Amino acid sequence: MSTKGEQDRERLKEEYKDHYRRIKEAKERLKRAEQKGKISQAVHNMNADGLLESVDEFLGKVREKVTHVEARLDVAMDSLEDENSTAASKIEKEELDEELKKQKAKQTLKQVKAEMGMLYNEIEKHADEIRTEKTIGNKKPTSESTDNSSETES
């Protein structure tokens, strides 16, 4: 009798497991269906024209700034070439001009790098401004993740 009772208990146990497994699968299917619905609604509500327009405007500004920096670099290189051609008459003067040329080139390069750094910061800032927020699967930021993001910005 105890073996029949044990067998019945095992059978019921398996039936319960199967029942709970089916419930869990049904809940997962429901969750996925709700997510798909939210995604399709978000895609439907997107305004692609406005987004493309802002990206085009942003790219135009970036191209304009890069062109401006390149023009300044060209002017600086031309002025260095002009100074070099007038200073070639004497050896001592040539050595001084060579040193001056190196210093001005370094200074110009530092200035261009600084401007490119500012350009990169402006690009990052504008990219942050046009970034859309996630509406599905948002996780609340932990204090650790917000601390890390503030460190990377500085």
DSSP code, position 1: -
Question: What are the residue boundaries of the structural domains of the chain, listed by start?
Answer: 1-44, 47-128
pLDDT digits (tens, 9 = 90+) for 66-77: 999 888 888 888
Q: Is the pLDDT of residue 98 over 80?
A: yes
Q: Is the pLDDT of residue 40 over 50?
A: yes
Instruction: Provide mean pLDDT across the span 101-126.
Output: 78
Q: What is the pLDDT of residue 25?
A: 96
d(CA 71, CA 6): 89
d(CA 131, CA 138): 15
Q: What is the pLDDT of residue 85?
A: 62
Question: Closest Cα to residue 136, out of 28, 46, 39?
Answer: 39
pLDDT digits (tens, 9 = 90+) for 7-24: 999 999 999 999 999 999
Report residue 89: phi and psi, to 5°.
-75, -40
d(CA 76, CA 12): 87
